[in-house]
Structure 1
């Protein structure tokens, strides 16, 4: 059940990865549309279909839009700074950045927003919101500033543990389970690194000095780990309900089958042990 729900939450990103792989395998240089443009139109179509069929709410769509904007801004700077390149031609692009690239960041936002809803996640104890916002801003700024100033990522790694170290994520694939948030962030960054290798192996983008046969540097796991905290705070800004009233289930309910509803008055989605009295 965990695997099925996780795959369903990652549907947008999964479809985009499949499109990247298939387009690389079949695309011909004499076709009337460029591969990057086809990926952009595919991503827009998927997003529209998600809204039509209510696979995403409008609040989750706001998350995706915010991710697209912040991600595209980072792409513009990083390609200008020479951190990575997009070697193919495209009509839908800004400077050297094809517009489909923003949807790669948006897919992370889609996954996080959908996973929080699908797994009915609770975060406890939740850090002071202003502190999480300050950390997210510092991480985002460092992605730009380290090209000119001292890279403070090690201080930021320590800050994530200091701020979120006591926070547990309770989630429900069937019964209730929980995991430290910093562990969840690390595991997520590992899977994002694997997905990034799909992109570079297909030549969709390449880091400076990298060729398609090379794996992405393991250091990028750390970059994704930090970026996930920016992503998480972005979700809470665009859809603040994801952290509102997120009390955790009682410890005795974790890893146990869910009991039958004792009374019709008990809310259907309430975690075991959350009823008053």
Structure 2
């Protein structure tokens, strides 16, 4: 199959001593782009379905139900093709549950942060079951990127601290409706916690280094862009988009970046990934 063969090629650590200067930069940049695109396989296929499926549904099936079938089919295909392991699927399923619980709260009658206006057989408490896969997509991307780019983490904070800040971030998504929004305090704590943390990745044959907080912010930005696309196509809508579409407020970028920190914490505790994380004594 093409994708397993592509993975083997991308994971091959063949040295290229002849590359230097601009030639090396361009080659590494291209490989980095290919690896990023491959890591976004689930994201790309799922959001491709979001864009391509007509709002009226497909073959008499409502759009949200068709998206659920598409998401489950893509996930099972990835496991069958060896592109994702069962352990990784369990982690992705956890992201689905965490995201779905947040969705149920946000669309409830007392909160109404956003809504899913279309009918679906697979709606539970006003939330279509496919919605959890939007959160699972973030986890799938991080898992795939970790493998394809041989990610290693240096100076990771103690696990109990990382887990504590992740739990507080998740709790704030609920509690800010009642006791105030503390996201910026949590962001400052997370920045201090991960200030010395760097991610080592390999675009081609040499290790490169990036501050981990920068990675959180960049991933959050691209999720914010995907959210704008999804609301433009009417998959869900915020209250200010019910009359006519408008761009999702840029403050959501910070929310997504915090969610990435929470997702990263879950992924970092996978057994085969934890071995690549250095926690200072």
Same fold, TM-score > 0.5, yes or no: yes
8 Å CA contact 2:107, 2:113 repeated in 1:
yes
User: For residues 241-256 of structure 1, what are the structure 2 equivalents within 5 Å?
Assistant: 241-246=272-277
1:228 paired to 2:256:
no
- Describe the superposition over 1:74-119 as per-residue Cα deviations: whole angstroms up to 9, x where unpaired: 0000011100100111001211100000111101110011111111
User: For residues 75-90 of structure 1, what are the structure 2 equivalents within 5 Å?
Assistant: 75-80=103-108, 81-90=111-120
- Describe the superposition over 1:21-77 as per-residue Cα deviations: whole angstroms up to 9, x where unpaired: 1013xx536941101000000000011101100110112101111001100000000
State the TM-score, normalizing by the size of structure 2: 0.84
1:195 paired to 2:223:
no
1:155 paired to 2:155:
no
Cα distance in 2, alignment partners of residues 29 and 127 from structure 1 = 47
For residue 133 of structure 2, the aligned residue among 90, 93, 103 is 103
Where do 5+ consecutive residues of structure 1 fail to align? 249-277
Cα distance in 2, alignment partners of residues 142 and 246 from structure 1 = 27
8 Å CA contact 1:189, 1:221 repeated in 2:
yes
1:183 paired to 2:211:
no
Deviant stretches of 4+, over 2 Å: 27-31, 245-248
8 Å CA contact 1:63, 1:113 repeated in 2:
no
8 Å CA contact 1:189, 1:228 repeated in 2:
yes
State the TM-score, normalizing by the size of structure 1: 0.85
Q: Aligned pair count?
A: 245
1:73 paired to 2:106:
no
- Describe the superposition over 1:131-177 as per-residue Cα deviations: whole angstroms up to 9, x where unpaired: 00000000000000000002111110101111001100000110211
Equivalent residue number for residue 14 of structure 1: 44
- Name the structure where helix makes up a greater proportion of residues: 2
Equivalent residue number for residue 146 of structure 1: 176
Aligned-CA RMSD value:
1.5
Where do 5+ consecutive residues of structure 2 fail to align? 1-30
